[in-house]
Every structure is written in C-alpha cells, then in structure tokens.
Amino acid sequence: MRSVWLLCALLLGWGCKSTPTDLPAPPPEEVKPSAPIAREATPAEERDESALPATEHLIRPGDTLWAIGLRYGCSIEELRDKNDLTGNTIHPGRRLLIPACDPAGPTQGPKPTPAAGRSYTIRAGDFLERIAAHSGCSVPELMAANELTHDVIYAGETLLIPDCAGLPLEDSAAADDETPPNATAPPVEPEKSLAAAADGETTHIVRPGEYLGLIASRAGCNVGEISRANDLQDDMIRAGQRLIIPVCEGEGRLWDGLDPLRQERRAGELRKSARAKAPPRGRVVRDNTTLEELMRARGFRPPPHFKALVVEIRFNRNRTAVAQEHWFSWRETGYEPRGWNPASTIKLYAAIAAYRKARRLGYSGDARITFHGNRREHTFVLNDLVRDAIGPSSNIAYNYLVSFVGFDRIHNDFFHSRFGFRHAGLRRPYERENWMNLGWSSSLAASPRITLRERNRTHEIPPRTGRAQTSCHSAACTSLAELAGTMRRVMLQEQLPAGEAFGLHPTDLRFLRRALASERNRGQGVVNGLGRHLKGPRVNFFHKAGFSQQWFSDNVYVYNPRLNRAWIITMAGKPGRDSLDEAARVIGQLIAGGALGKARSL
C-alpha cells in the first residue's frame, strides 16, 4: 500500500485527488438578496455551485420550494421541516438544506396533475412571464407543470396552472390589463394582486423586477404617498415584500413627495402631509381648423403631404400640474397613421420600452446587454444604446433596443391604449442590409438569446419569435398624435396624473431628456425655425427628428418658464430635410405672438 502512495506522489507532485481539477467552473450564480439573510453564499460558492455540499441548494432568482422539491425529489413539507420554515417564502442568495428524500432524483419528483390545478387557454398577446405573475406562480413552476423546455407559447393552447397562491386565470385571465384590441375578453384593471384591506386600503406583494414608481403608476398614486403609507426610508423595495396601497387621488406627480418624505422622517414629521389633495386635472380641447387658418393667413403654403400637430400646455401657478391643453391639428392630419414615413422619430418608443423592460427585470440603464449570435456576441450598455438611438440616431442601436424589448412585448405591453397608442407598429429593422450582415434576422419579430448583467446579477432571456398582430405593413407606423403624446408623457411625467405617465425611473428619465436635448449635425431645421421667434435664456428645446425616403419629420418639446407654458410641435412633410423649415418659422411666430392662445375656444 505504501508503494502505491509513493508512486502517486511521484507522478502527481503530491497532488493526488479523487476528482479532476481541470474541469471548467460553472457560470457564476449571480444573485441579489431581496432580504437580509443569516449566511450568504461566498463569492467562491457563487462561482462554483459544485463546491456546495450535496445537501445544500443555493437559491436562485425564480426558485420556489415547489420547484426545488421537484428537482431533489422532496415534498414542500420535508423542505420546510429541514429548514425550520413556517411558510413558502424563500429568498435568492440563501442556502437551503436538502433532506434525504427520494433517491430517484429530480425526475422522480411529484408532478402536478389536472386535479391539483386548473387549466388556462392562452390568448393572443400572452407570454409565460405574465401568466406566471397573474397566477402567483413562477415561470419554472409553469414550465415544469406543463413539461415545457422553453417559454414559447401559442394562442389557443391550454396550460395547466398548478396550485399556486395568486389570481385565478380560468375566467378569461381576469385582471389582465394587456388584452389586445382584437381579443374577446374586456380589459380590466392592471396587476390585481391587490387584496382588500379593512380601511379601504389595499395590499400588494412586490414581484421580481417591480420598482416603486411602477407600482405607484399602476395604483394611481405617487411614490411619496406609497412611501408614507409603508414607512419606507427610501424607494428601495424587494420581491416578496408586502406594501400597503393607500386610497390616492390618482393625480399629481409620480415621484412627488419622496425627497420631502426623507426630510420629514429625519425631523419626526413623517405623516404631516400624508394624502395631500392633488391639483385638479387639466382640460383637453381638440381643434382641427384653427392651425391651418392662422398659418395660411400668414402666407404659408404647405409642402406636399404636409402634416402638423401643435399642443399648447398651460400649467398651474406652481407648475405642479397641467392646467389646460389645446391640441391644434392641421385638418385631421395629426391623427392619420397611414400614408407617411415616421422614420427615426419612433426610436423614442424603443428607448422608453427598453427602460421599462430593464426596470421590470430589476436592472438600470447601466446594465450590460449581450446579444448572442451564431457568429459572435455583441455587448452594449443600455444607456449607450439609448443615447446612440436618440442623439446620433443610430439605426443599429434602435434595432438592438427593439430586439431587447421583444416584438410581442413592445406591441402588447407598450403600444397599449393606456399610453395613448392606437396605430403604432414596428415590423422591419432599419438599415436592414447592415443589420443582416451582423448576423441578425430580417424581421424585428425575431430576437436572439440575450444576457443582462449588472454588478453581480445576471438574467437570461431565451430566443423569441414574436407573434403579435399589428395592422402596420411598413417598417414602422404611427401618427403625429402618438408621437406628441409620447413626448408629453416623457417631458411632463412630474406634472401628469400618475396613471397617465410611463412610470420611468427618475435616473432613466433624466438620461432620456438629456439625449433629447443633445445637439445634432443634421435634422435641426425645425428647432432652428422655431428658435427664430421662441428665444430666451431659459427656453429649452427637446426633440427627435427623422428622415427617410424624402420624408422629414420632427417631434419637438419647447418650454418657456417666463410664460409658464410649453408646446409640443410635431410635423411631417416632403421632399427633403428642409421641407418643414418654413412651417416651423410660421408656427414659432404664432406661438411667440400669442395667436394660438387668443384663438383658444375654451
């Protein structure tokens, strides 16, 4: 026996081991604890899960006791007893002790049966993440219950919903606010995980990816109201946390009250301003004749296929809310979606949808997004893609943003009537030949596998092929009213009722506004024409222009603090980049002279 040990020592340099040492380590288990934990996994354990004892499991985002029990052949009760748990709540980053259960392994674990759950018929626009959220299950639970190997599902198919705590889906997916216009089920209020409370308030269980602004927007509250109701120190929340949703007015600024809240808490005056009454909502008037009359009276001759929409916005005295809006359309061209090319103006849609998608998954604009192609990987920072798509107006950056959001998500979740969309659609990538030369699809419906990384967290998005229905048959479709409405929601998020806003995180909002205010080498004709008359040291311009197939368009927001008013000017015409210069000059003259204000028929 001694000779064997000597031989081993000579051959391996005293390094005999029973397991190989040159095997590659598995990818990092990048987790973000959602609650304080007794003992977190060390960095070495996160890098190599094989280092964990066979009787321990590192909880990953999305794990549930049911799914872990299925993997190890254990029941939920056995896992509870082993870990001294009183409920089913577990947190990513903790280590779960695995008892000695069925030695047959994970494939022999209990499977849900029709008797243990209920069935749900998939509707157009559904995706697995949303069904899981509404049913109170995780995506792995639904995939395991239905023996799915991926998250691609199709309308008309039937899913088995296991017994999870959450909303019933059998009644035409009640509580789904994202029903497409052509679906049979009527839309209802969003995110009905709100349970009635005794005093008229409600409670909400925070889901992975949710943040305080998103929850406030859905509930019709502002962030300050929810923070005060829950005694929050700041706007940080975690998945699984129970929030009280107070009875709100449904008005006011989305993030209003957060900074004062911190000051009140330090001074011991937290609840002095709770549920303060918000200012009244402004009146909206539409006018399809005045703009043309006023412009023609000044000798304006419209270019071919001219389209224009001017929105005049008046604020209340302290500029905390919109007092009145007047929408002036050149005839009805402001609301016509067909017969023109919006070109790069719609890149604003992709940027907003991408920020909303990232925040829903729990990531910020600093996250790195890797697109996995057959030839190579392409990695970008989300903020860089937004800046390049809005500022220099990069077509490739825009294509990447849409691919990240996903074809179904942008059409069923973002292009929704609650955000004022009726006609918008995106079908084909811009700069298609170069896009395909990079190895990507000729259709925006196809998205590759994507990895999202930020700090020590990672999220994988599998390849997707969108099946959303859209009436758009061009590369992109929209109306001037939809463009103007989007600019309105971006620039007036603090003044609009919370339910009308996009609910963008303040950091994302600031970055997007800076991109809209950046100087451009081309496409400044409308801003320059307006600026000939709208001058002043504090007059600010924000805009996104577009040019394609001789169509030039621009979507401009102008604010004059001296007059306490703002204007949105959205126009399109052809041929050429200078086709709107004269129109911009005349509209600037009308605004500066107060002609539009005098013509208001309120």
pLDDT per residue as tens digits for the range 194-231? 344 434 577 888 876 567 766 776 676 777 778 888 87
By mean pLDDT, which of 4-8, 145-149, 314-318 is the weakest?
4-8
Same domain, 348 and 471: yes
Same domain, 471 and 493: no
Same domain, 310 and 422: no
Q: Is residue 42 part of a domain?
A: no
Q: How many residues appear in the chain?
A: 602
Average pLDDT, the chain: 75
By mean pLDDT, which of 47-56, 285-294, 559-568 is the weakest?
47-56
- Could you identify the residue written with the tokens 């017969």? 339
Q: How many domains does the chain have?
A: 3
By mean pLDDT, which of 1-10, 177-186, 216-225, 547-556 is the weakest?
177-186
Q: Is residue 91 part of a domain?
A: no
Rounded to 5°, angle at Cα 393 from 388 and 394: 65
Checking if the pLDDT of 495 tops 70, the result is: yes
Average pLDDT for residues 5-25, to the nearest whole number?
40
Full residue range of the structural domain in which residue 543 is found? 283-341+484-598
Same domain, 430 and 354: yes
Q: Is residue 556 part of a domain?
A: yes
Same domain, 245 and 306: no
Q: Are 8 and 16 in contact (CB under 8 A)?
A: yes
Same domain, 508 and 563: yes
Max avg pLDDT among 122-131, 156-165, 169-178, 319-328: 319-328
Q: Are 26 and 39 in contact (CB under 8 A)?
A: no
Q: Could you count the other beta carbons within 10 Å of the beta carbon of residue 355?
A: 27
- What does the alpha-carbon distance between residue 527 and residue 560 come to, in Å, rounded to a whole number? 14
Same domain, 458 and 358: yes
Same domain, 234 and 293: no
Average pLDDT for residues 106-115, to the nearest whole number?
38
Domain end, chosen from 452, 477, 502, is at: 477
Same domain, 537 and 457: no
Q: Is residue 443 part of a domain?
A: yes
- What does the alpha-carbon distance between residue 352 and residue 354 come to, in Å, rounded to a whole number? 5
Q: Cite the DSSP H helix spans in 250-335.
A: 258-267, 290-297
Report CA-CA distances (Å) from 493 to 66, 433, 489, 499: 41, 37, 5, 10
Q: Is residue 494 part of a domain?
A: yes
496-516 burial, b at 16+ Cβ within 10 Å, e below that, comes to bbbbbbbbbbeebbebbbebb
Q: Is residue 464 part of a domain?
A: yes
Q: Is residue 62 part of a domain?
A: no
Average pLDDT for residues 517-544, to the nearest whole number?
87
Q: Is residue 97 part of a domain?
A: no
Same domain, 428 and 455: yes
Cis peptide bond N-terminal to 279, omega within 30: no
Same domain, 204 and 320: no
Q: Are 128 and 142 in contact (CB under 8 A)?
A: yes
Q: Could you count the other beta carbons within 10 Å of the beta carbon of residue 462?
A: 11
Average pLDDT for residues 154-173, to the nearest whole number?
60
Same domain, 216 and 247: yes
Report CA-CA distances (Å) from 322 to 159, 489, 495, 497, 503: 45, 12, 6, 9, 17
